[in-house]
Amino acid sequence: MAGPLPRKKLYRHLVKQLVSDGFFDNWRATNEICFAVNKGVPHRWTPVYPSSVFRYMRELPLEERYTWNHTFNAMIREWKKSE
C-alpha cells in the first residue's frame, strides 16, 4: 500500500517515536508533547491538540501526574517514562 499513513496512525507512530528517542525521560506537559508531535504532521492536516493527546498516551508505559499551574489557573497533565 503506497502513500502516507492515516492521520491517527501517524500520530500514534510519532508519539511512540518520541518515547524511543528519550523525550519522556523528564516530565513533559501536554503542550510540549503536542508541539513535538506536530513537527512531524503535514501542514494541511489537523494538528494534535492538548485535549486529544491523552488518547495516544494511555497506550504507552508512562507515568501520569497532575500539577497546578498558577499562571494559567489550571491543572496540567504531565507524563514521564516509567522506570
Fold held by 7-81: Arc Repressor Mutant, subunit A (1.10.10)
The SS3 of residue 78 is strand
- Sole residue written with cell 499513513: 5
Partners of 68 in the beta sheet?
A: 75
Q: What is the pLDDT of residue 55?
A: 92
Give the pLDDT confidence of 61-80 residue by residue, as tens digits. 999 999 998 888 999 999 99
Torsion of CA 39, 53, 4, 6, to 10 degrees: -160
- Sole residue written with cell 522506570: 83
Give the pLDDT confidence of 19-65 residue by residue, as tens digits. 999 999 999 999 999 999 999 998 999 999 999 999 999 999 999 99
Q: What is the pLDDT of residue 1?
A: 54
Reported as type and span, the H/E element at residue 76 is strand 74-81
Q: What is the pLDDT of residue 14?
A: 95
